[in-house]
Every structure is written in structure tokens, then in C-alpha cells.
Amino acid sequence: MGLEDSKLLQKYLNFGERKAGSTSMGIFVGLFAAFGGILFGYDTGTISGIMAMKYVTERFPQDIPN
């Protein structure tokens, strides 16, 4: 089952048109990249919060002098 079979995508994107300058693929790639950025930002924020916890800093000390 490919993207062309999805009823939701067929409603908003015209897969039949394969002309130069078609915005369908651009919209799809942009949404995919935005979703990846959201996940990366969430992951970075979660890891930063865990690294600042007292439990983690006591058990995994950093070798960098203050």
C-alpha cells in the first residue's frame, strides 16, 4: 500500500499530475521535515531535562572542571 492508495492524501493531493513545479511533493516533504523537527526538539528537551536531574548528575559526574 503506497501513498497513492491513501484516501486522505488523494483528497488533498493530486497524485495524477506529474508536471514540473507540482506542489504536492513539496507539501509532503515540508510536512515530513516539520514533523521530524518537532520530534527532534522534543527529544532534545527531554534529554536536557534528564541531564539536569540531581539523580543523574550524582551517578554520572562530568569530567569537566567547573
Q: Which of the four pLDDT bands, split at 50, 70 and 90, describes residue 11?
A: confident
Residue 66 lies in a domain: no
Cα gap 8→48, rounded to integer Å: 37
Report the pLDDT averaged over residues 7-17. 70
The type of residue at 50 is I
Is residue 1 over pLDDT 60?
Answer: no
**CA 42 and chain centroid, separation:** 9
Residue 9 lies in a domain: yes
How many domains is the chain built from?
Answer: 1
Residue 14 lies in a domain: yes
Is residue 35 over pLDDT 90?
Answer: yes
Q: Which of the four pLDDT bands, split at 50, 70 and 90, describes residue 30?
A: very high
Cα gap 25→22, rounded to integer Å: 7
Is residue 26 over pLDDT 60?
Answer: yes
| Block residue for cell numbers 500500500 | 1
Residue 8 lies in a domain: yes
pTM: 0.47
Residue 64 lies in a domain: no
Q: Which domain holds residue 16?
A: 3-59
